[in-house]
Amino acid sequence: MITAFGAVLLVVGGGGLVSVKYFLNQLTSNIQTTSSVLDSAGLSNKAVAAGKMPEGAMNILMLGLDTRTGWEEKGELSRSDTMIILHITAKHDQAYMISIPRDTIVDIPADEELGFRGATEKINGAYANGSKDGKGWQGGAKLATKTVNKLTGIEFDGIVVIDFSGFKGILEAMGGVYMCVDKRMWSSHYLVNNGKIEYAHGADPKSPPKNALWFEKGCRNMKPWEALEFSRLRHSDNGDYDRQRHQQQLLRAMMKKATSSGVISNPTKVSKILAAAGTSLKMDTHGVAVTDFIFGMKGLAAGDLIPIKTNGGTFASVSGGEGVNDATRDLFKATAEDKLPAFLGRHPEMLISDPATS
């Protein structure tokens, strides 16, 4: 998604070919790339040769990590707590966001190159298992992609990895976004002491403390930290499913602001946003030049990012975590077979209404 919104900034923002090339070079020069993820058997789109941009529909796996600054140096493991499949239609003018619940119990396949024997556990552990013992983000992305492919049957044209700190930097460069809170929820990461909002250190509480920070219903311009925290809220009847919905809402809000006149007409702001995006992005584009990959999504805009709910937007519990219901399996199958728009036409209940745009 970040690459898509970057493309919109560059192309919709205009300013001539020279400025477009300048901003593209700024964005892509800092992106870490690899081909080791999608080169693995069964992960890439078999209908498209390596190094070629798909002429038809595309599937991109986006992995959001819980990594913080300095973790990698300390050898601490990251989990991909956010996993979103971005299905882009054949005309490259619409994209559907499908979130995979982070607590989904799956078979994480063995990988001899990574020295991993396989396991059955929560899907957000796939990245951690792949990246440990010095295998880095490439190993993590590879095992996470193999796991998602096994669960969904979907082949991918691109992988995008971004960590918590990087996403925070992009929001700060944007100056916040307009968001709508549709239900009153509390934060487990912040407290209110003497009227001041402070970060809550220590264990993650399961019930709101007396001085909890509450997000009240209504629409407003959120500061960067507020928007990021809103996307992490999960203490509700629907738990992580509300969190997934908020994450998708945040991505749409970022896309909308990225294409607003207050951003695209400000070269300094565009430069800061793309610099923040570039330094935090890691990608596998299956041999396609990153600039070509980004331009391949230049037609997307905020209204074209369509959020989808899995498992009916609520729990499908199995022993030890979450499962996948039959309707979600059918959703995955339709996506893998490039029949998603027709499938959703028959199942409109899977579409999520975004309160910020409805």
- Residue by residue, DSSP assigns 168-215 as HHHHHHHT-EEEEE-S-EEEEEEEEETTEEEE--SS--SS--TTEEEE
pLDDT of residue 61 exceeding 50, the answer is yes
- Pick the range with the lowest mean pLDDT from 153-167, 179-193, 277-291, 297-311: 297-311
**Is 7 a residue whose pLDDT tops 50?**
no
- 63-76 confidence digits (pLDDT tens): 988 765 555 555 55
pLDDT, position 260: 72
> Strands (DSSP E) along 138-176, which ranges?
158-163
The CA-CA-CA angle for residues 336, 337, 342, to 5°, reads 110
pLDDT single digits (tens) 82-117: 899 999 988 887 889 999 999 999 999 999 999 999
What's the pLDDT band for 2 if we cut at 50, 70, 90? very low
**What mean pLDDT is reported for the chain?**
84
Backbone angles phi, psi at 144, to 5 degrees: -65, -40
CB atoms within 10 A of CB 259: 19
Q: For 307-340, b where at least 16 C-beta lie within 10 A, e where not — what string?
A: bbbbbeeebbeeeebbbbeeebeebbebbbebeb
Maximum alpha-carbon separation in the chain:
60
CA distance 265 to 9: 10
pLDDT at 18 over 60: no
**Residues 158-201 pLDDT 10s:** 999 988 777 888 889 889 999 999 999 999 999 999 999 999 88
Task: Report whether pLDDT(355) > 80.
Answer: no
Q: 2-13 and 16-29 are packed helices; what angle lies between their axes, rounded to 10 degrees? A: 160
pLDDT confidence of 301, banded at 50, 70, 90?
A: low
Pick the closest to residue 72 from 12, 118, 127 (CA basis): 127
Query: For 73-92, what is the HEC assignment?
Result: HHCCCCCCCEEEEEEECCCC
Chain-centroid distance, C-alpha 264: 23
- pLDDT number for residue 112: 94
**What confidence tier does 15 reach under pLDDT thresholds 50, 70, 90?**
very low
pLDDT at 275 > cutoff 50? yes
32 φ, ψ (degrees, to nearest 5): -80, 130
pLDDT value at position 185? Answer: 94
Report which of residues 129 and 240 the model is more confident about: 129
Distances 178 to 51, 57, 119 between C-alpha atoms, Å:
38, 30, 41
Res 10: pLDDT: 43
Is it the case that residue 295 has pLDDT exceeding 90?
A: no
Kindly report the pTM of this predicted structure.
0.88
- Report the amino acid identity of residue 118: G
DSSP class of residue 28 equals H
Distance, first Cα to last Cα, the chain: 21
